[in-house]
Amino acid sequence: MSEELTRRGDEVFERLFGAAPDPQAGDDPEFMAILRRVIFGQVFSVGELEDRTRELITVTILAAMQCPGQLTAHTRAALHVGATPEQIREAIYGLAPFLGFPRTLNAIAAMNEGFRAAGVQLPLDPRTTTPEGERFACGAAIQQRLYGDEIREEFDDGTAVGAALPRLLTEFAFGDFESREGLEVAERELLILCALVAMGLAPQVAAHVKGCLRAGLSRETVAAAILHCAPYTGMPAALNAYRQLRAAVDDA
């Protein structure tokens, strides 16, 4: 079985990166062989996620974990398996409400390095669809369908800050980013979930598991995405996320 996983992993690696792996390359070839067997041979074979979606998940996780070298490499891999530059950019831009601007800028720099190496002309065309004066209305339309009034009910305590926090979330996360062109809302929700798994934010993982299901994603798709996170985030984070998925399905 191990030999079959190695063969399968080498095939996927070549599909993603355009060349077969060198089994003797680097200072730790044994470790890299295990990595390829687990990620590309084992994890890639479970579920029905296409390579494009898997690589968008991977660049999202690597951005959340601030791994610039790997992010640059997987930006090129995502392009190689059919993700457009705009889709990759939207995956990274959409992390700003969750990572904050400084870490998102770090990820954008690594992404752009991958773009330049692949010959992508920068800057890419704008994809904003929401006028500044409509950020709240457009954001609320998306947020309401997925999350209702949960955040406003929790934080709006009659104070100025208590009212400003949920409004900022609506305008920033949903009005500025989820309303943009380039990715569908369901795919954005899946990528955000994977970023939250990578960041180890259990309460937010629980909420966004439900958001993914309400966006129309199947249990199987969400489960496959969580499994895909495991070799990047470590097993504890993936196991915790899968518990949240099971709980959300049981409560439905």
Q: Are residues 106 and 152 in the same domain?
A: no
* Tokens at 49, concatenated: 């996620």
Task: Give the list of residues 6+ apart from residue 19 with CB closer than 8 angstroms, or none.
Answer: none
CA distance 183 to 174: 13
Residues 117 and 204 in one domain: yes
Assess whether 61 and 97 both reside in one domain.
Answer: yes
Same domain, 78 and 117: yes
5-14 exposure pattern, b = at least 16 Cβ within 10 A, e = fewer: bbebbbebbe
- In this prediction, residues 164-192 reach a mean pLDDT of 96
Residue 158: which domain range? 134-177
Residue 186 and residue 162 share a domain: no
Counting the structural domains of the chain, the total is: 2
- pLDDT at residue 15 greater than cutoff 90: yes
Question: Is residue 29 one of the residues assigned to a domain?
Answer: no
d(CA 163, CA 7): 56
Q: Are residues 96 and 201 in the same domain?
A: yes
Confidence band, pLDDT 50/70/90 cuts, at residue 29: very high
Q: How far is CA 54 from CA 67, 144, 163, 228, in A?
A: 17, 28, 37, 7
Domain check: are 119 and 184 in the same one?
yes
> What is the Cα–Cα distance from 187 to 153, expressed in whole angstroms?
26
| Same domain membership, residue 246 and residue 141 | no
Residue 115 resides in a domain: yes
Contact 211, 189 (CB under 8 A): yes
Rounded-to-integer distance, Cα 90 and Cα 126, Å: 11
Q: Is there a single domain that holds both residue 139 and residue 207?
A: no
Could you tell me if residue 197 is inside a domain?
yes
**Average pLDDT of the segment spanning 234-243:** 97
Indicate the average pLDDT of the chain.
96
Shared-domain flag, residues 60 and 145: no
Angle at 187 between CA 192 and CA 6, to 5 degrees: 85
Quote the pTM value: 0.96
User: Is residue 172 domain-shared with residue 79, that is, in the same domain?
Assistant: no
pLDDT band at 190 (very low <50, low <70, confident <90, very high): very high
Q: Find tokens 């998925």 and name the residue.
A: 245
Are residues 59 and 120 located together in one domain of the fold? yes
**Amino acid symbol at 116:** R
Q: In CATH, what number is assigned to the domain containing residue 247?
A: 1.20.1290.10
- Main-chain dihedrals φ then ψ at residue 84, nearest 5 degrees: -80, 155
**Is 106 exposed, middle or buried, given 0-12, 13-18 or 19+ CB atoms closer than 10 A?**
middle
Q: Determine, yes or no, domain membership for 5.
A: no
Cα–Cα distance measured from residue 143 to residue 97, given in angstroms and rounded to the nearest whole number: 14
* Residue 159, phi-psi category: left (phi > 0), alpha (psi -120 to 50), beta (remainder): beta
Position 141 in a domain: yes
The answer to whether position 207 is within a domain reads: yes
The CA distance from 98 to 102, in Å, is 11
Kindly state the average pLDDT of the residues 27-34: 96
Residue 10 included in any domain: no
Give the pLDDT band of residue 1 (cuts 50, 70, 90). Answer: low
Average confidence (pLDDT) over 13-29: 95
34 domain-assigned: no
